[in-house]
Amino acid sequence: MEVSTRAEPPSASLKVLYTDLDGTLLGPGGSLFSGAEGGTTGAAAAALLTLREADVELVLMSGRTRRGLHEAARVLGASAYVAELGALLVLDGDEVIEDRGAFRGPGSIADALARSGVAGLLLERFPGRLEPVAPWTEVSVMFQGLVDVAEVETVLSEAGFDWLAFQDNGRLRAVLPELDVPEVRAYHLLPRGVSKATAVRRHQEARGVAREDTVGIGDSLADLAVAEEVGRFYLVANGRHAIGGAALPANAQVTERAHGDGFAEAVRSVLGR
């Protein structure tokens, strides 16, 4: 993987900044003030103030549920947020846009997933490697553990679930002794075609904002896909491991700092402040 750390000229037309939450804006433990190597930092908080003073709209992107993001968005000053890895886009606190992707059935996606038994199928096929996360989601099914995504998608296809995708949402700091895995990652099972990138595109359409007037920041493969929909993308330094050997798009670069300090570095780069 070729990693770019080139300096970019400040943007005079930045209107929207899309950022992942856990592992990007927030430091270890999910705190805005946690330093990447321990200790504390105020860099991310200062960068949020800079964005607000520059009248740049802040949009959160996360695998978290809508309920889990509502208060975070209010506290951090985000006017919109993307929940469940792109399944839900919430504008101005209450307007909810659901992305049904490849799902063509009647009723809700969550009900269809529950009736299908697909979650049980995956737990049976990957014992000791996957476990479900408490089902507070509205659209997707969340798992944690460690599996090969391509292997899971083959299982889904062979079982007739071609309309579903299994997405990796990055490494977790959790230790799960009940699973026989060397590290723990977060996964979402959701309709094919749903992603943070599609949610970003829907937000731009709703706001009437041009792609070149937006920036994305993240730390995972799910975030890196957003690079196709924004003018410039920054991968915080701790995201290098998460993307493995994935190619870095021409409009993307890796920050020198990790977590919230990397977020602040990206904001300084794009605004020149």
**pLDDT of 171 over the 90 cut:** no
Among 191, 218, 248, the domain boundary falls at: 191
pLDDT of residue 176: 87
In this structure, is residue 10 part of a structural domain? no
Cβ neighbours of 29 (radius 10 Å): 9
Residues 118 and 233 in one domain: no
- Taking all residues of the chain, what is their mean pLDDT, rounded to a whole number? 92
* Boundary of a domain, candidates 154, 171, 191: 191
Looking at the 3D structure of the chain, how many domains does it have? Answer: 2
Q: In what order do the strands lie in the sheet with 16-20?
A: 95-98, 88-91, 80-83, 57-61, 16-20, 214-218, 232-235, 252-254
> Given this model, what pLDDT does residue 229 score?
98
CB-based burial label for 9 (10 Å; 0-12, 13-18, 19+): exposed
Q: CATH number of the domain at 229, please.
A: 3.40.50.1000
Q: In this prediction, what percent of the chain has a pLDDT beyond 90?
A: 77
Mean pLDDT of 166-170: 89
Domain housing 185: 109-191
In a domain, 125, yes or no: yes
Residues 30 and 150 both lie in one domain: no
- Indicate if the pLDDT at residue 9 is higher than 60: no
Asked whether the predicted pLDDT for residue 184 surpasses 50, the reply is yes
On whether both 117 and 149 belong to a single domain, the answer is yes
Binning pLDDT at 50, 70 and 90, where does residue 272 land?
Answer: confident
In a domain, 72, yes or no: yes
CATH number for the domain spanning 132: value is 3.90.1070
Judge whether 9 lies within some domain: no
pLDDT for 36 = 83
Residues 116 and 145 in one domain: yes
**Which residues lie closer than 8 Å to 56 by C-beta, 6 or more apart?**
14, 15, 16, 17, 271
Residues 115, 187, single domain; the answer is yes
Write down the residue that tokens 């009647």 correspond to. 106
**pLDDT above 70: percentage of residues in the chain:** 95
- Residue 5 domain-assigned? no
Q: Are residues 42 and 168 in the same domain?
A: no
What confidence category does residue 215 fall into, taking pLDDT thresholds of 50, 70 and 90?
Answer: very high
- pTM of the predicted protein model: 0.90
Last residue of a domain, one of 126, 159, 191: 191
Q: Are residues 233 and 255 in the same domain?
A: yes
Q: How confident is the model at residue 12 (pLDDT cuts 50, 70, 90)?
A: low
| 154 & 228 share domain | no
81 band by pLDDT with thresholds 50, 70 and 90: very high
Q: Indicate whether 64 and 133 sit together in one domain.
A: no
Task: Output the pLDDT for position 218.
Answer: 96
**Does the structure show a pLDDT above 50 at 256?**
yes
